[in-house]
Amino acid sequence: MRAKAASWTEQLGKLFLGAGLLCLPLLAQAASEDDPWESINRPIFTFNDTLDTYALKPLAQGYQAITPQFLEDGIHNMFGNVGDVGNLANNLLQGKLEAAGVDTSRVLFNTTFGLLGFFDVATKMELRKSDEDFGQTLGVWGVSIGPYVVLPLLGPSTGRDAVAKIPDSLLEPYPYINDVPARNLTRGVDVVDTRASLLSVEKLISGDKYVFIRNAYLQNREFKVTDGEVVDDF
């Protein structure tokens, strides 16, 4: 199969899992302190994981198996184009005006020349894709990350990120699609496409799956809020 175009979901998956694999020993103690609700989180995690194993993952595998590569890439790009709207808004809120300008250009070029984002012409024009959300914006504003929490169906989060999902949802197209079947179908394809993009990286998980994903998630969120800058506590 041809390599897929880089997208926010693939970058998230690779960073999310790769960071945990590399940093798991260093994060174990700190992450445990950030997980006071583990006794509640673990059963929810088990529920989510079971649902994924017997429903979502098979759907993603079937979707990937029957969908022609060019079509899968195009669908992936279209959802990524919609995601650039959220990147734009959060870059503005964080005062990253240059990045916001790039986001604007990406949306304009991909929506027009890329046929509503089916073709990612902006990346070929070397317009770098951002990966921002309101949880990161709150972090930049100084809001504490809060305890680690596993949300039913939605997966790993934190107190800060869970609250941020509300404004993030307003930047998605779903609240503005009045036709219920069309809205549900679009959301369903989005979920399956996102899960399919993570199939190739889940093999990195090792040891206690709950602990691995928790530590990887917390490390990834810290990395994103600081834009990769290492903070020396000493």
Cα(150)–Cα(153) distance, integer angstroms: 9
**Residue 33 — very low, low, confident or very high, per pLDDT cuts 50/70/90?**
low
Contact between residue 106 and residue 129 where contact means Cβ atoms under 8 Å apart: yes
Cα(70)–Cα(109) distance, integer angstroms: 19
The domain ranges of the chain are 8-225
Helix, strand, coil: what percent of the chain each, to 5? 70, 5, 30
CA 168 from chain centre, in angstroms, equals 12
Q: Which candidate, 103, 78, 40, 42, places its Cα nearest to that of 194? A: 78
**Residue 27 — very low, low, confident or very high, per pLDDT cuts 50/70/90?**
very low
Contact between residue 114 and residue 120 where contact means Cβ atoms under 8 Å apart: yes
Query: What is the tens place of the pLDDT at every residue in 172-229?
Result: 999 999 999 999 999 999 999 999 999 988 888 989 999 999 999 999 999 999 988 7
**pLDDT for the residue numbered 227:** 87
Cα(7)–Cα(83) distance, integer angstroms: 10
Cα(162)–Cα(93) distance, integer angstroms: 18
pTM, two decimals, is 0.81
Cα(76)–Cα(61) distance, integer angstroms: 15
Query: What is the tens place of the pLDDT at every residue in 4-15?
Result: 444 434 444 444
Q: Which candidate, 149, 146, 167, 165, places its Cα nearest to that of 157? A: 149
**pLDDT for the residue numbered 28:** 46
Q: Which residue has the tokens 């969908």?
A: 67
In DSSP terms, 156 is beta-bridged to: 150
Q: Which candidate, 184, 24, 37, 8, places its Cα nearest to that of 103? A: 8
